[in-house]
Amino acid sequence: MFFPGLGQFYGEKIIKGLFWSICQIIAIIAAIWSCLSPDGQTSTGLIFLGITIIIYLANILDAHWTVYTAKNDKSLEKIPRTNKNPWFAVFVSRVLPGLGQLYGNHSILGLIFLTASLIFLRLDDLYPSLLIISPTLAAIATYHAYLGFPQKSSFRVREYRSIVAVMVGLIFAWGIIWNYLPNWIDGRWQLFNIPSESMQPTLQIGDFVLVKKSSSYVPQQKDVVVFKTPDAVKKLSPDAGDYFIKRIIGKPEDKIQIENGIVYINNQPLEETYISEPPDYQWGPEIVPSQAYFVLGDNRNASLDSHAWGFLSKDYLVGQAYKISWPLGRGKSLILK
């Protein structure tokens, strides 16, 4: 995939190329921030995603027009059909490394690039540490496809080495981002669907919440957290899903008591504006063990939580649910301020 602005660089319209590149980068950053930030809106992120696509398509049209109207440089004029075009070699190299070499009659090298790229496309999925190899191969193959083009072509290949070098650098950088960004996001964030009413009114059935996964996360009181279903829950409810979502009420060493519809933390009543109704059960007092938490659902009388199955070990924690991402009309932060 070419990054917006490269066609303008080829047409020696550097400022215009930088403009398209910067616009695309800003749109991508805005889309990611809107979707992942607690203060961002998913709807805004989708708008910026649409803008990103529009910029990409508009850039293609502008790149074509830029090169077509560059009449002051004969090397940019239309290439006769009888001659091969090194820029076409660059293009097919971006489709699949090695095709540019095959087009330029470097058959052996083309087959080497082609075979290596196909192998590492597969290995990338199996071994994430090898993700850097594919964009590196693409950059090398693209650069060679241009500079190694047969000199008998009427196209003045050597005059545009600096432009090609800039293009290859951007291609390499974009390849790194494109390969690593999905894995980076997947390793740190995850969407979870709400299947029950246990967290009403905060969360409704069908909501999708965004969870920031972190092994170093230390929950704070009133955080909404997702955790793997403890064994104690599976004994009470064999049909329970793989994950639960509740609110942190008690932290390690806290004294917890529930009496007369009020939760007491260390003998102090806990102010709760997010629950559907006060609990109609009594519990405690008990001390939360170290390395554990006391969790409750906001729908206190319809939630299978710590009052029924005990304390939650920190080893089960997945991360903090900090935002409703979907439906769009319900998007909001879950972080209490």
User: Is 246 annotated in the active site?
Assistant: yes
Q: Which of 294, 280, 273, 281 is nearest to 221 (CA)?
A: 294
Q: Which of 230, 211, 216, 210 is nearest to 295 (CA)?
A: 230
List the catalytic residue out of 246, 251, 303, 323. 246
List the catalytic residue out of 117, 134, 198, 325. 198
Looking at residue 80, what is its pLDDT?
A: 42
220/81: higher pLDDT: 220
Q: What is the pTM of this model?
A: 0.70
User: Is 198 annotated in the active site?
Assistant: yes
> 196-219: per-residue pLDDT in tens?
999 999 999 999 999 998 888 899
Instruction: Say if residue 176's pLDDT is above 70.
Output: no
Kind plus residue range of the DSSP H or E element containing 248: strand 243-250
Token readout for 172 is 């390499």
Looking at residue 118, what is its pLDDT?
A: 77
Q: H-type helices in 3-155, by residue range?
A: 6-10, 14-36, 42-68, 86-95, 99-103, 107-126, 133-147
Is the CB of residue 191 less than 8 Å from the CB of residue 208? yes
> 22-75: per-residue pLDDT in tens?
888 899 889 989 988 888 889 999 999 999 999 988 988 888 787 667 645 554
Secondary structure string (H, E, C) spanning 152-169:
CCCCCCHHHHHHHHHHHH
146/30: higher pLDDT: 30
